[in-house]
Structure 1
Amino acid sequence: MASQSGPNLDPVYFGGIEVDISQFDFSDHSSRLGAVTITCTVFIALVVLTVALRIFSRARYVRHIFLDDVLIILAAVFTVALAGMCIAGKQQPFGILIRINGTVATHHGLGRHIWLLPIPTLFDTLKNCILYLFVCQVLYCFAIALTKLAIISQYLRFIPDKSFRAALYGISVIILGLFITGKTHNASRMFTRAEASTGVFVTIFQCRPVRGAWNFTIEPVCVDYVTYLYASSAVNVATDILLFVLPLSHLWKLNLPRKQRVILCVLLAGGASACIVGIVRIAYLHQLRVLDVTYQSVVCLILTVGECSLGIIFVSIAALRPMARQFFPKAMRNSPASSAQPRAWPIRLQHIPASQDKDQYTSESKQNLSGSYGTRSGTSC
């Protein structure tokens, strides 16, 4: 129901800005608090469980922690923090919630329409909610960047092809450079990036002074951050596609049974779900421009948490194979012959020198390699 009933209504100002309140449907009392709580709780549980099993598998069966494990742990910390900030209600899940000014963001109206917020504290509520969204974006920067670096680190250790490794090194340099600076040498007023990190410094310093990003009672100088998110998210999707497509041909050429190659490619395709979520997220970025941001931003936040969580989950599934072979030996058996003699997979998560071709590895060098796909003395390592 439109709130305006005639053309001669006086303009409405909010924080010194003229607002067209005809966009509001004051009869809508719906809430998205439940959607935030359920979705983010599920993602927290899945991420924590997956990463815990990954580390257990490494420590118990591989007896080694690799660089991608460390990166995934860090990515999980930021993802859980991001999801935790989206959870509604007064109870603190797991006893840990990042707080802003002593209260969680949902206490500042997240998930509720702006016209349902208490009038006496409306300005303070909105300022704190926007500050919360600001912190969420910073957490997203770290979570998604660390996840992509973990994927690249894992690729580097089991694909020896020189050109492939060079491409990954190049992507890594771009990720790190744009994560730190948020722009390239050719950047102008429209910031660009080549990774989902969004440029942590661009996010933090999008306004001058910094508090202008959430304090609408002052007049800061800001970049058009939503437009920047459109551009950066599009490039992010492109890098997701590259990380999905580049290793496919190399994985298919590995000296593995066809069944195992299919499984690896399916797992890689599963990781592309994060890319799909990223594409859908672009369609909802416009909702960050509306005044009813406390309600409209929820879908974008849920998709943000989902993108980070799915990336962590799917990149960790392959690392669970050693543990799966112990608990489900029949299901994980490659062939009848594998029960008589353990078979070592040529896919290894330990560094393979780029100067050597995989066909040049001797049986002794293969035996010295350890990783989540191999076996040692009849035990998955």
Structure 2
Amino acid sequence: MCTLTNGKLVAAANATGVAILSIDPFRYTSPQQNLAIGITIASTALAFIVLCIRVAGRVSSHQFALDDALVCIAMVLSILETAASYMFIKTNFIGIRWQDVPPHDPVPGLVWNYAIEILYNPILALVKTSILLFLLRLFGQKRDTRRFIIWVNTANIGMMIAVFFATVLQCTPINKTWEPTLEGTCIDRRILFTVSSSFNIFTDILILAVPLKIFMGLKIPRRTKIALMFVFLLGFLTTITSIVRLVLLLQGLFMLQTSLSADANIGFVTSAIETNLALITASAPALRPLLRTWFPKLFRVDRDEVVGNTERRVLGTAATRMTRLKSQTQLPSQSPRKSEEAIMTFNGIVRKSDIIIQYSNPGLDNMRPATATRSPVGRESQQLDKWI
């Protein structure tokens, strides 16, 4: 097969020896094709900017972890997918009316399509693993939640490996994937891509269920709960895009009737939108410090309002009172304190310290200090309190 030279028509031959014409696809364009290219590049650029902000914030706070590294790897793969998508759009004349598509060699387009198929699934799987690791670190103290996250992540990684090898080895020999006329066998790619896309949607829903269940049970200010749920559940946008992509995929694979005209069908870009939107929504929770600076009333939680942290509750009822004992002789405390101060006497020595005295009996005769403890019910609240 001859290579393309300066956009001129060049004779080429397929596996059967029949001469075909190959042209320079970069000479052909249309508004629809430019739109497809613009969406693909713009979505990748936006994802890259959001990821850079995330990494900068995590590094500056010395919190860069494995989940951040996995998202960075997914971003590199997304950039490679964008480059392959650009070549696919040009070599397959995406967005150009079929009447205007000249006779051309289909092999280059099939090669770029094969590259996109290989890159697509690992990007989503790595992003989901990153999200699950973040949720595990944040809410993994509860056994049931931890077990659920581990099982979902195991299924996600297993599916990533299985789909990767199934995609790479979809045809035997491999080059039959882009040269259909060669002798060999291929699996039913319609079933492969339909099952993998459906599984992606299913795991999306399972992952979104974790923060939804936890936040619904937290006793924090309503406005803060709504804001945090909004940040964590932005992944629904990715799920909606995945569903749209699956519908378009089924229409193309099974030759179903579609309302899109030949010159307006740029549904291919949903793959790039889905992967980059997954990167953006996965980084949203990690942008909390920035969001808290921009929207302090929504994203700044008053830790005294988080139920479950009994050491910081305001004790002002009849049954439990906080008292401050004063004395004329005081020893300076060893370090500055921000909480309420109290004076306790031990063996005749008066020491100033920061404590909270909680009484189990309102009567003065039976007043006994009780040790402040953390309620087991508030473990998620306590961990969220650290993250916030």
- Structure 2 length-normalised TM: 0.65
Contact 2:32/2:264 (<8 A) preserved: no
Give the AA of the match of 2:207.
Answer: L
Q: 1:177 aligns with which of 151, 158, 162?
A: 158
Distance 1:131 1:289 in 2: 21
The alpha carbon displacement at 1:154 in A equals 0.9
Q: Tell me, in whole angstroms, the C-alpha distance in 1 between the residues paired with 2:81 and 2:32.
A: 17
**One-letter amino acid of the structure 1 residue matched with residue 183 of structure 2:** E
Partner of 1:46: 46
> Deviation of residue 247 (structure 1)?
2.8
**Per chain length, whose mean CA-contact separation is higher, i.e. which structure has more relative contact order (CA < 8 Å, sep 6+)?**
1
Match for residue 161 of structure 1?
A: 142
Q: What amino acid is the match of 1:301?
A: F
Runs of 5+ consecutive residues of structure 1 not aligned to the other structure: 1-13, 17-28, 88-103, 183-198, 343-355, 375-381
Q: Which sits farther off after the overlay, 202-211 or 105-114? A: 105-114
Question: Amino acid of the residue matched to residue 317 of structure 1?
Answer: A
Shift of the 296–214 alpha-carbon distance from structure 1 to 2, 3 Å rule, reads farther
- Tell me, in whole angstroms, the C-alpha distance in 2 between the residues paired with 1:297 and 1:166: 46
Structure 2 partner of 1:65: 64
Deviations 1:6-36 (A, max 9, x none): xxxxxxxx988xxxxxxxxxxxx96631121
CA deviations on 1:207-254 (whole Å, 9 max, x unpaired) are 010111111221320011122211222222111111112331212223
Query: 1:194-209 counterparts in 2 under 5 A?
Result: 199-209=163-173
The alignment status of 1:109 with 2:74, answered yes or no, reads: no
Change (3 A) 1:172 1:330: closer
Contact 1:179 1:200 in 2 (8 A): yes
| Preserved contact between residue 171 and residue 187 of structure 2 (Cα < 8 Å) | yes
CA 1:216/1:65 → structure 2, altered by over 3 Å: closer, same or farther?
A: same
**Aligned-pair CA distance for 1:175:** 1.8
C-alpha distance after superposition, 1:53-73 (max 9, x if no partner): 00111122x222011111111
Match of 1:268 in 2: 232
Partner of 2:351: none
Deviation at 1:83, TM superposition (A): 2.2
Say whether residues 1:35 and 2:12 are aligned partners.
no
- Give unpaired runs (5+ residues) of structure 2: 1-13, 17-28, 256-261, 306-337, 340-374
Is 1:233 matched up with 2:197? yes
Counterpart Cα distance in 2 of 1:269 and 1:221: 43
**Aligned-pair CA distance for 1:114:** 5.4
Q: C-alpha distance in 2, partners of 1:309/1:360?
A: 33
1:217 equivalenced with 2:181 (yes/no): yes
Deviation at 1:359, TM superposition (A): 3.9
**Amino acid paired to 2:137:** R
Provide the secondary structure at the position in 1 that maps to 2:284: helix
Find the partner of 1:138 among 118, 131, 135: 118
Q: TM-score when scaled to structure 1?
A: 0.66
Alpha carbons 2:85, 2:112 under 8 Å: kept: no
Deviation at 1:296, TM superposition (A): 8.7
Could you tell me which amino acid in structure 1 is paired with residue 52 of structure 2?
A
Q: Map of 1:1-381 to 2, 5 A cutoff?
A: 32-60=32-60, 62-87=61-86, 104-111=87-94, 112-113=96-97, 116-119=100-103, 122-123=104-105, 126-159=106-139, 160-180=141-161, 182=162, 199-285=163-249, 286-288=251-253, 299-326=266-293, 332-334=299-301, 357=376, 359=378, 373-374=387-388
Structure 1 residue 264: Cα displacement: 1.7
> Residue 333 and residue 232 in structure 1: after superposition, are their counterparts in 2 closer, same or farther (change >3 A)?
closer
The corresponding residue for 1:5 is none
Mapped partners of 1:207, 1:115: distance in 2:
31
Q: How far apart, CA to CA, are the structure 2 residues paired with 1:117 and 1:76?
A: 33
Most deviating of 204-213 and 39-48: 39-48
Aligned-residue sequence identity (percent) comes to 23
Partner AA of 2:247 in structure 1: A
**Amino acid in structure 1 at the alignment position of 2:143:** K
Alpha-carbon distance in structure 2 between the residues aligned to 1:296 and 1:178: 35
Q: CA deviation at 1:118?
A: 3.9
Q: 1:133, 1:360 → 2: CA distance?
A: 48
**Displacement, 1:289?**
6.1
Shift of 1:288: 4.5
Instruction: Choose 1 or 2 for highest CA Rg.
Output: 2
Q: Conserved in 2, the CA contact under 8 Å of 1:278 and 1:307?
A: yes
Change (3 A) 1:258 1:243: same
The one-letter amino acid of 2:284's match is I
